[in-house]
Amino acid sequence: MERPLTKHIKPGSVSLNMKDYIQLGGYGNLQKALKNIAPAEVTALVKASNLLGRGGAGFPTGVKWSLIPMDGDKSTPKYLVCNADEMEPGTFKDRYLLEGNPHQLIEGMIISAYAIQAGKAYIFLRWAYKKAEKILREAIADAYKSGYLGKNILGSGFNLDLYVHSSAGRYMCGEETALLNSLEGKRAMPRTKPPFPAISGLFGRPTVVNNVETLSWISHIVEHGAEWFKGLSLTPTGGTKLFGVSGRVKNPGTWELPLGISMRELLEEHAGGMTPGHKFRGALPGGASTDFLIEDHLDVKLDFSTVAAAGSRLGTGTMIVLDDKTCPVAFIHNVEKFFALESCGWCTPCREGLPWVEKMLASIEEGTGKMEYLDLLNFNAKFMGPGNTFCAHAPGAAEPLQSGLKYFHDDFVKHITDKKCPWR
Amino acid sequence: MLTEEEKKEIQEEIKQYPYPAVACIDALKIVQNHRGWVSDESVRDIAQLLSISNEEVDSVATFYSRIYRKPVGRNVILICDSVSCMILGYESLYNYISKKIGVSFGGTTSDGRFTLLPISCLGDCDNAPVMMINNDHFNRLTIEKIDELLDRYK
């Protein structure tokens, strides 16, 4: 089984430095692209590979790039932004790539910037990733010294400056347009779309925003081609994916596996099954903003379309497992409290709905909830759903809520009728 | 008044952007790095340096969780209270630390040694429960480890 993204990352060891990366052929694909491939051809290659965005939404990367106007005035600045604001509860995959193989990301970013002819690139890094920040800053300085960044890169005439922006905390920064506002030094509020960032992004200029894992693929696709990439998955989508599991499992962790492996295989073979004395009750398959899947779904293939068909989302691919010793109401309350606190407050369903949901869940958990809350919670889940809000924050929060109310209905009712949490 | 050093660091950030206001978050972080928190006076000083209004700077300062608009202790303990850490028992860690230092979430010890705050997911869920003290990250925490850990921060 191929593991292109992580084969040089050894868990617990130091990150792959410039010298070792180059010894493994690193930056060779950048040379190949700059010398032999026209920018539009790089975009066509990524489009042909069908690389779907690894940040959670699964939008085709090549399509995103192809929306950038390429015929405009050459002096108009364009930007590439790497979204490294990994803050979705239960998600820890980008940290692994950032700390383990920073040059893979940097090389991918230079090639991507070349494809869209961006002159400046930013890595928007979450505040808490202090180790990754240090590693990235050192790696970028090394790349400058070797002529992979700066003016006239490898004699190609292509210029690129790459900066790290360490954030000041707020989940909302992970939303593409909110991230751009934050990078401009403003509050991280989402922007109206259209115009999409490809037309009017950072400082009103054409901008591509891609996730760490997505950008880490680019040099590999340049090296091996689109067909190779497509052949890596068990489903037709293409590529491997970083999957992760947290919760009461024997061996929590992150693994690079082909898209399309089953949830059962991830949980049992890689995560080692449940911790002794704990039973599986369900899981959020791709971070806190995805719908619960339960035992009936264990044979669902983990790919964007197949998880969607099962009523959830692949999201970030990092799974949070609910066991029988953890109260599902407390679990859902914890998640909704997070979303309520992190709402930017811009639109009503999110600003008003989430704190209301959080309060009702808290009172059910404490044993003071009423039966009518269940209808109100369902009402709010619908009201916060897609089409009613400004961005994906509240619809994401609605997912574990609506599915939790469905799958753990009896547990909610028992809290209300017994006037206490059965787990406490 | 911003110190010369703070001003110099902020000017350095401004250089990479098309106009000074973009450096607002960087400026807040620089001041906080030197002083531990951001006072009303610092908000005014930053506004002046970036040629934007005090209100604009404050709107940014109050939006971001890691900018402190009130004084904090010499050491800030950030306990992850997100769902994976909840499953693995962050609450017992919190109870232990809270009792040991005598403050709840949001509080600062009377000797100014510690401030205790919750933080959302630290991206290390396979090693839960997790917390940070200042810029240092600690995982797979148990109550037995806490005493020794806190002793390192005076």
Pick the closest to residue B135 from A132, A13, A100 (CA basis). A132
Query: Is A2 a member of any domain?
Result: no
- Across the interface, whether the CB atoms of A90 and B81 are under 8 A apart is answered no
How many whole angstroms separate alpha carbon A39 and alpha carbon A288?
A: 37
- Across the interface, whether the CB atoms of B66 and A169 are under 8 A apart is answered yes
On whether the CB atoms of residues A421 and A327 are closer than 8 A, the answer is yes
What CATH number does residue A195 fall under?
A: 3.40.50.11540
Choose the final residue of a domain: A193, A212, A230: A230
Task: List chain A residues with CB under 8 Å of B24.
Answer: 185-186
Residue B18: strand, helix, or coil: coil
**Do residues A166 and A24 both lie within one domain?**
yes
What CATH number does residue A277 fall under?
A: 3.10.20.600
Give pLDDT tens digits for B75-120. 999 999 999 999 999 999 999 999 999 999 999 999 999 999 999 9
Beta B75-80 vs A318-323: how paired, if at all? unpaired
**Do residues A220 and A75 both lie within one domain?**
yes
Asked if B67 has any chain A CB less than 8 Å from its own CB, the reply is: yes
CA nearest to B14 within chain A? A185
Provide the domain limits for residue B19. Answer: 4-63
**Do residues A157 and A294 both lie within one domain?**
no
Which of B80, B90, B125 is most worth mutating to test chain A (most A CB atoms within 10 A of its CB)? B125
Find how far residue A260's CA is from the centre of its chain: 18
Task: List chain A residues with CB under 8 Å of B137.
Answer: 128, 130-131
**Do residues B31 and B91 both lie within one domain?**
no
Give pLDDT tens digits for A141-183. 999 999 999 999 999 999 999 999 999 999 999 999 999 999 9
Provide the domain limits for residue A130. Answer: 18-230
Asked if A131 has any chain B CB less than 8 Å from its own CB, the reply is: yes
- pLDDT bin (cut points 50, 70, 90) of residue A68 is very high
Handedness of CA A199, A305, A107, A13 (dihedral sign): positive
Choose the final residue of a domain: B38, B63, B88: B63
- Across the interface, whether the CB atoms of B83 and A288 are under 8 A apart is answered yes
**Do residues B44 and B90 both lie within one domain?**
no
**Do residues A349 and A263 both lie within one domain?**
no
Query: Is B69 a member of any domain?
Result: no
**Do residues B146 and B96 both lie within one domain?**
yes
**Do residues A182 and A266 both lie within one domain?**
no
Query: Is B25 a member of any domain?
Result: yes
CA nearest to A161 within chain B? B16
Domain count, chain A: 3
Choose the final residue of a domain: B63, B84, B113: B63
Query: Is B89 a member of any domain?
Result: yes
Place of tokens 């044979």: A299
**Do residues A190 and A256 both lie within one domain?**
no
The mean pLDDT of A267-280, rounded to a whole number, is 98
Q: How far is B63 from chain A (nearest CA, A)?
A: 6
**Do residues B38 and B106 both lie within one domain?**
no
**How many beta-carbon pairs below 8 A join chains A and B?**
127
Give pLDDT tens digits for A52-65. 999 999 999 999 99
**Do residues B50 and B96 both lie within one domain?**
no
The mean pLDDT of A99-126, rounded to a whole number, is 97
Task: List chain A residues with CB under 8 Å of B87.
Answer: 246-248, 320-323, 326, 331
Checking if the pLDDT of A13 tops 90, the result is no
**Do residues A274 and A414 both lie within one domain?**
no
Give pLDDT tens digits for A227-243. 999 999 999 999 999 99
CB neighbours of A218 closer than 8 A, spacing ≥ 6? Answer: A46, A107, A108, A109, A111, A112
Task: List chain A residues with CB under 8 Å of B128.
Answer: 246, 252
Longest dimension (CA), chain A: 74
**Do residues B86 and B147 both lie within one domain?**
yes
Query: Is B68 a member of any domain?
Result: no
Checking if the pLDDT of B52 tops 90, the result is yes
Enter the tokens of residue B133: 């003290």
CB neighbours of B46 closer than 8 A, spacing ≥ 6? Answer: B2, B10, B24, B27, B28, B31, B57
How many whole angstroms separate alpha carbon B6 and alpha carbon A419?
A: 56
**Do residues B49 and B93 both lie within one domain?**
no
**Do residues A209 and A332 both lie within one domain?**
no
Q: How far is B132 from chain A (nearest CA, A)?
A: 8
Asked if B106 has any chain A CB less than 8 Å from its own CB, the reply is: no
What pLDDT sits at residue A1?
Answer: 80
**Do residues A349 and A270 both lie within one domain?**
no
Query: Is B82 a member of any domain?
Result: yes
- Across the interface, whether the CB atoms of A334 and B63 are under 8 A apart is answered no
- Across the interface, whether the CB atoms of A92 and B125 are under 8 A apart is answered yes
Give pLDDT tens digits for A174-231. 999 999 999 999 999 999 999 999 999 999 999 999 999 999 999 999 999 999 999 9
Of A129, A168, A331, the CB nearest to B29: A168
Query: Is A102 a member of any domain?
Result: yes
> What's the Cα-to-Cα distance from A243 to each of A47, A195, A255, A317, B120, rounded to whole Å?
23, 33, 5, 5, 21
**Do residues B96 and B119 both lie within one domain?**
yes
Asked if B98 has any chain A CB less than 8 Å from its own CB, the reply is: no
**Do residues B87 and B114 both lie within one domain?**
yes
Domain count, chain B: 2
Checking if the pLDDT of A74 tops 90, the result is no
**Do residues B58 and B103 both lie within one domain?**
no
**Do residues A124 and A199 both lie within one domain?**
yes
